[in-house]
Amino acid sequence: MRDEEWLVTSAEQGADGWLVRVRGLSELVAETTAAFYSSLDTIEVQDPKEAKVVPDGSSGYRDSRLWLEALLRKTPVPYGDQALTVSTHMLADALAYQRAAVTKALDPQHIRPRILIADAVGLGKTLEIGMILSELVRRGRGERILIVTPKHVLEQMQHELWCRFALPFVRLDSTGIQKVRQKLPATRNPFTYFKRAIISIDTLKGPRYKAHLERQQWDAVVIDESHNLTNAGTQNNELARVLAPNTEALVLASATPHNGKEESFAELLRLLDPTVVHPDGTFTKDDVESLLIRRHRHSPDVAAEVGSDWAERAEPVHLLVKPSAAEDAVAAELSQTWLHPASGTSPYSGDTKALFAWTLAKAFLSSPAALAESIKQRRAKLDQDDPAQRTELKALNILDELNQEALGEQAGKFGALTKRLKQIGVGKGSATRAVVFAERIATLTWLRKNLPAALGLKDENIAMLHGGLSDVEQQEIVDSFKLETSPIRVLVTGDVASEGVNLHAQCHHLIHYDIPWSLIRIEQRNGRIDRYGQKHPPVISSLILEPSDPEFSGDLRVLSRLLERENQAHETLGDVASLMGKHSVTEEENAIRDVLVKGVDLDDAVRTADEVAAGEDLDA
């Protein structure tokens, strides 16, 4: 801390000398504050009068002119100047709807810049964030910036901000944190060393850094996928509560900021401006509009600009798949013993009989490998000596025997997947690529193992992405898939890639190997290739198992109708959240489970796009 350069901010004379409060200037102490007593420390004053003046010997006084030019360029633009000065000249298409978000964020009516960017999937929230930050920097209000994102988009965000806006950020993923620890003393606050950092929320939310963050002030904080902050008492929420009061500017970004609960949305508003939420938790539409900007693909200001730079989605392809004989036997056993037993009661020994039966069914609809995993996990929890659990164990063993036979032969959906991939051109010597989504890691692993031989490809041509991989591994796979020179032809991925990851650079084919029970999740998946910058019509395919058991097959028609409603909403509304009014993946899954388990009519749970367009939509 000593032998560094400091700027004096105040001085107080005491009985035994001066108390000098300072702010750090040299690299080791930059932007930190400290206090020194003249009676304890030797303070050396840097007097400008003692500076040595030397002539500029460069040709045409080039060095002096360059220094003066740099100084002029660093001179901040007045904050009240609403004209955009630098963001419109960056390496990005000049789109008026994106500039509108920047103008709103910098509105001088706000004491501090605060905004929730809630644009729908694919409109370029990252670009809007970059434009806002570049304008803050030009106004002298962006020296210290922290960006918090999910770990799988760390490098993507860092790359976009540097390549498009010349904003350098130190990426503090798990590897980056280790490098910091090696460079700094253990007691140093790492956030005082790096002026601009981008770090995953999973790394930052733990207690390890809380004390450091509480003592650190920022010029701007950006939190991506901010819908993950709304649950009070969670580590994500506690992190946001630490950061929000310690920053001048706060930018939250989420395509689904409203989870259907007023108190959760109010929590986001409190982070931006606590005064807009009344003591009873209510807020007005005008207050929300001053902090929120939300558009979708078919909003007039968006549709007027995107044109051919966002190709219209092709007609979706929904493939009804006949199961193999062994799979059909598993489906019949699930239906007759677990889902629709003649006795009215399934063998499940727990309290939520109907729910667990559909847990098994959902695993089966993903793959026989996923069902085998679910059966294994459940059997591990059962006690052979308990009569009720013994009955359940016997039923699980019968189901597992049937499922093992299904694992031993080619699954119906797997055959349909390979056929579809070949139809769209994926294969040896072809540049065509596809993204295949599935919910269960067991399914992803199974696909990754079997696809190379089925398609005549090498192992390196099939990549797997899921949340169990490290942040570095996830980013390497995503970055490779974007490159024209990448060997990857099929990316099998879990829903970790459904938020924030851009996969459209070299790909316009997406296949749902299993169907999420959530319109929001379906839209998020589709948005990985159906987004601004997609030059080819996105082709979305879905594989829907059609077992011969009439009751089970009837249940699964719900998923077909869910896909149809998502596409209708995409074409008519540009956004699906208002169809169910839940605004949360979990809440939507619970509603669809009620349709399947409790017999709730799908039309009551999921409105049509026409009903919403008629004026019954939820503006919130």
Q: Where are the alpha helices (DSSP H) in 199-261?
A: 201-204, 210-214, 235-243
pLDDT digits (tens, 9 = 90+) for 4-19: 889 898 999 988 899 9
Average pLDDT of the segment spanning 186-197: 79
Residue 196, beta-bridge partner list: 145
Average pLDDT of the segment spanning 303-318: 88
Residue 174 has pLDDT above 70, yes or no: no
Contact assessment for residue 248 and residue 113, using Cβ atoms and an 8 Å cutoff: yes
pLDDT digits (tens, 9 = 90+) for 51-88: 888 999 999 999 999 999 988 887 888 877 778 888 87
Instruction: Give the separation between CA 452 and CA 465, rounded to whole angstroms.
Output: 16
- Give the pLDDT score at 344: 85
- Between 427 and 110, residue with greater pLDDT: 427
- Give the pLDDT score at 416: 96
Contact assessment for residue 10 and residue 17, using Cβ atoms and an 8 Å cutoff: no
CA atoms within 13 A on the CB side of 618: 17
**Is the Cα dihedral 579, 582, 588, 592 positive or negative?**
negative
Helix-helix angle 353-366:550-572, to 10 degrees: 70
Q: Could you tell me the two tokens for 153?
A: 């988009």
What is the DSSP secondary-structure string of 344-392? S--S--SS-HHHHHHHHHHHHHH-HHHHHHHHHHHHTT--TTSHHHHHH
Would you state the CATH architecture of domain 315-320+412-616?
Answer: 3-Layer(aba) Sandwich (3.40)
Element (H, E) at 252: strand 247-253
- Give the pLDDT score at 228: 84
Let me know if domain 82-308 sits in CATH 3.40.50.10810. yes
Q: Could you tell me the two tokens for 133?
A: 């930050």
Residue 203 has pLDDT above 90, yes or no: no
Sheet bearing 539-545, strands edge to edge: 317-321, 539-545, 509-512, 434-437, 490-493, 462-465
Distance of CA 166 to the CA centre of its chain: 23
pLDDT confidence tier of residue 1, bands split at 50, 70 and 90: low
Radius of gyration of the chain (CA): 28
Instruction: Give the separation between CA 543 and CA 514, rounded to whole angstroms.
Output: 7
- Give the pLDDT score at 31: 67
- Give the pLDDT score at 130: 95
Tell me the residue type at 228. Answer: N
Instruction: Give the separation between CA 228 and CA 512, rounded to whole angstroms.
Output: 24
Average pLDDT of the segment spanning 363-369: 96
Q: Could you tell me the two tokens for 205?
A: 């939310």
Residue 518: other Cβ atoms inside 10 A: 25
Contact assessment for residue 55 and residue 76, using Cβ atoms and an 8 Å cutoff: no
Contact assessment for residue 568 and residue 608, using Cβ atoms and an 8 Å cutoff: yes
Burial code (b: 16+ CB inside 10 Å, e: under 16) for 148-173 equals: bbbbbbbbbbbbbbeebbebebbbbb
Query: Where do the domains of the chain lie?
Result: 1-46, 82-308, 315-320+412-616, 324-407
Instruction: Give the separation between CA 526 and CA 569, rounded to whole angstroms.
Output: 13
pLDDT digits (tens, 9 = 90+) for 537-559: 999 999 999 999 999 998 889 99
Residue 11, beta-bridge partner list: 20
Q: Distance between the two ends of the chain, CA-based, in angstroms?
A: 51
Tell me the residue type at 591. Answer: A
- Give the pLDDT score at 617: 45
Residue 248 has pLDDT above 60, yes or no: yes
Instruction: Give the separation between CA 454 and CA 417, rounded to whole angstroms.
Output: 10
Residue 616 has pLDDT above 70, yes or no: no
In the predicted model, what is the mean pLDDT of the chain? 89
- Give the pLDDT score at 227: 84
Same fold, 82-308 and 315-320+412-616: yes
Q: Where are the alpha helices (DSSP H) in 219-259?
A: 235-243
Instruction: Give the separation between CA 50 and CA 100, rounded to whole angstroms.
Output: 50
Residue 620 has pLDDT above 50, yes or no: no
- Give the pLDDT score at 613: 67
Size (the chain), residues? 620
What is the reported pTM? Answer: 0.74
Instruction: Give the separation between CA 532 and CA 88, rounded to whole angstroms.
Output: 18
pLDDT digits (tens, 9 = 90+) for 117-150: 999 888 889 999 999 999 999 888 998 999 999 8
Contacts within 8 Å (CB) and 24+ apart, 283-286: 285/619
Sheet bearing 33-37, strands edge to edge: 6-14, 17-24, 33-37
Helix (H, G, I), strand (E, B) or coil at 166: coil
Average pLDDT of the segment spanning 348-373: 91
Where residue 417 falls (left for φ over 0; alpha for ψ -120 to 50; beta otherwise) is: alpha
Place of tokens 């003249």: 38
pLDDT digits (tens, 9 = 90+) for 449-498: 999 999 999 999 999 999 888 878 888 999 999 999 999 999 999 998 88
Nearest to 431 by CA among 348, 515, 374, 489: 489
Place of tokens 């030019």: 69
What is the dihedral angle through the alpha carbons of 186, 191, 197, 202, rounded to the nearest 10 degrees? 70
- Give the pLDDT score at 101: 92
- Give the pLDDT score at 484: 94
pLDDT confidence tier of residue 611, bands split at 50, 70 and 90: confident
- Helices and strands of the chain, counted as H and E runs: 25, 16
Most confident of 80-94, 98-112, 360-374: 360-374
- Give the pLDDT score at 259: 62
- Give the pLDDT score at 47: 83
